[in-house]
Amino acid sequence: MPRTPKWRHVENIPHHNYFKPAGVPLRELEEVILNVEELEALRLKDVERLEQEACAERMKVSRPTFQRILTSARSKVAEALTGAKAIRIEGGRFKLNMRHFKCSNCSHSWEVPFGTGQRGKDLACPRCESQNIFREKTQKE
């Protein structure tokens, strides 16, 4: 019996989920579906230029699993670019990574998703509105 796939952890949900060649009506295009975790693998490896081991660690998968995700993503993007196809980003098996904060004044703890644009120094405690907060370290899952 096959094992249940692990959740892949991502830090960014794309704001735009559709890309197509300019000048071609959408109804005339075939499309390639890129999963959210495949986009995350491309971002970590090709945009942030991390080593595969660091990428796999950030996504909380093994290195061979990360390699399979990355290979699939690159293949789909290459197919779309060379075949003039649209790319739709959706679905997959992923969880959004969260950043954990704690207030030094009232000890309140809360989470903020990665990719919200809010930096820790710009946050205030939702309970007491203090800006005396710090980011908590979380255990690896």
pLDDT computed for residue 115 by the predictor: 58
pLDDT computed for residue 66 by the predictor: 97
Is residue 141 scored above 50 in pLDDT?
no
Average pLDDT over residues 30-57: 96
Query: Any alpha helices (H) in 10-134, and if so which ranges?
Result: 36-42, 52-59, 63-82
Please give the single-letter amino acid code of residue 69.
Answer: I
Hey, where are the domains in the chain? 8-17+30-95, 97-136
The domain at 97-136 falls in which architecture?
A: Single Sheet (2.20)
Q: pLDDT tens digit string along 57-111? A: 999 999 999 999 999 999 999 999 999 999 999 988 888 777 778 888 898 887 7
Determine phi and psi for 33, rounding to 5 degrees: -100, 120
Please give the single-letter amino acid code of residue 132.
Answer: N
Residue 41, SS3?
A: helix
Give the distance, in angstroms, between the CA of residue 122 and the centroid of all CA atoms in the same chain: 22
Q: How confident is the model at residue 27 (pLDDT cuts 50, 70, 90)?
A: very high
The first and second tokens of residue 131, run together, are 């800006």
